[in-house]
Amino acid sequence: MAVQVSITSAPAIASRSSDISKVYREGIVAGVIGAAVIALWFFVLDIFSGRPFYTPSVLGTALFRRGMELGQLQTLPVSFETVLFYTWVHGMVFCVIGGVAAKLLDLAEQNLSLGFGILLFFVIFEFGFFVMAFIFAEPILQALAWPAVLLGNLLAATGMAFYFWRHHPNLKIRP
């Protein structure tokens, strides 16, 4: 009598699970890099202007305490509680953005025709961020100087892109 041995699919599940956790890990790391780059950029600008932690304090106040006037934002004393809360929220938002980017890059590696569309999506996303900032956050941009916000955002995107480029060297983007 012959006995059949069946092979379970546990290794395939473990492999898929490790691929998913790799994507999440890449997204979180990229998000932390992006958040750290922009936080460091504004910390340096705030140090040179003589007001350390001014930028996260203004942004945190605008986020958590609505209804502040432009004059109030420019003379706002730094609140370290607001700085910490804003930094946490800022980091989480960047981790979500990094996670979405990591998942899209994973899809682009599986289907090369998606790469250019994903690149175009990120360009439109970056442009949309600034349009929305100019529409809804004009007083904050006046308090922080919009060229500094633009450059900081581009530095963060560059840091994240460099990280992804190092972890996806075989990814090709074709129109």
pTM of the model: 0.77
**Phi then psi dihedrals of residue 162, to 5 deg:** -60, -45
Are the C-beta atoms of residues 171 and 110 closer than 8 Å to each other?
no
Give the integer Cα–Cα distance in Å for 121 and 133. 18
CA 148 remoteness from chain centre: 17
Closest Cα partner for 29 from 163, 171, 125? 163
Q: Give the CA distances from residue 142 to residues 36, 81, 93, 138, 152, in Å, rounded to whole numbers and listed in that order.
A: 23, 23, 23, 6, 15
pLDDT tens, N- to C-terminus, the chain (175 residues): 555 555 555 555 555 667 778 888 999 999 999 999 999 999 999 999 888 998 888 888 877 876 666 566 667 788 889 899 999 999 999 999 999 989 988 888 887 777 777 778 888 887 887 777 777 666 666 667 778 888 888 899 999 989 988 988 777 766 6
pLDDT reported for residue 90? 93
